[in-house]
Amino acid sequence: MPTPTDYVKKGTLRVIEPAISLLARNNVSPNKITTAGTLVTVAAGAVYASGHIMTAGWIMAVTAFFDVIDGEVARRTGRCTVFGAFYDSSLDRVADGALMAGLTVFYAINPIHHNFYMMVVCLLGIIGTFLVSYTRARAESLGIDAKVGVMQRPERIVLLSVPQALFGLFWNGWVLMAIIVLLTVTAWITAVQRLAFVYRATRHLESKPIRIFTEPGPAPPAPTPSTSAPKAGGMPATRRAQS
């Protein structure tokens, strides 16, 4: 069943179709687009840390453009590669970490909005966000598609851009705090949901015994008659060499 994010993505694709076509015609590397988007996101994290929350929100809105077009350009130019998917996923982790780290620094150094508890929430948000991506990647390595959960990356990007771009530090920063708490709680819920999903998917495998097949090794050499009798209480030479 399509999610609201899917409808938003389809609408966004219609709007930015001319830009996607232009990049595809010029054979622009999708990896370069991914890199540019990550650099813009890291810049948004730095702006969050400086306390210009509304400006950072608008910068984050630009990064959504890069998140959409890199995959589309890769498909249209026939440059969908395994490394490209790995590179995109790796830089997504850099971007997620930069955003939450910027907000952590904001609550640590801002003289007006300094808040120890929000620092802790941001740090928990970083861990939860990384768990969300790790659990899915690890599940895929087991052949399981664990794309489940209440909060995935597109939703996180929307919540870290639109409310901040529109409201900034409205209501003395309570809107921003509510968004961060929501992101942190839902990230941990999503991680637990994926753990439970993989557990259910693999539960029937746990009851089956694992059979290990090994290739038959070469036959041991036939023993040769000893030319001398072994000494009493002694140890064979080969055994002594292994001791």
Q: How confident is the model at residue 154 (pLDDT cuts 50, 70, 90)?
A: confident
Fold topology of 4-203: Four Helix Bundle (Hemerythrin (Met), subunit A) (1.20.120)
What's the pLDDT at 134? 92
pLDDT at residue 184 tops 70: yes
pLDDT at residue 213 tops 70: no
Is there a contact between 125 and 96 (Cβ–Cβ < 8 Å)?
no
Q: Is 92 among the residues known to form the active site?
A: yes
pTM beyond cutoff 0.85: no
What's the pLDDT at 37? 93
What's the pLDDT at 229? 45
Give me the residue label for tokens 């995109």. 88
Q: What residue type is 51 in one-letter code?
A: G
Q: Tell me which residue of 93, 74, 68 sits closest to 5, measured CA to CA.
A: 68
What's the pLDDT at 61? 87
Is there a contact between 37 and 67 (Cβ–Cβ < 8 Å)?
yes
What's the pLDDT at 153? 80
Which of the following is catalytic: 67, 70, 88, 92? Answer: 92
Q: Tell me which residue of 61, 67, 66, 65 sits closest to 44, measured CA to CA.
A: 61
CA atoms 144, 94, 129, 14: torsion sign: negative
Write down the domain spans for the chain: 4-203
pLDDT at residue 16 tops 60: yes
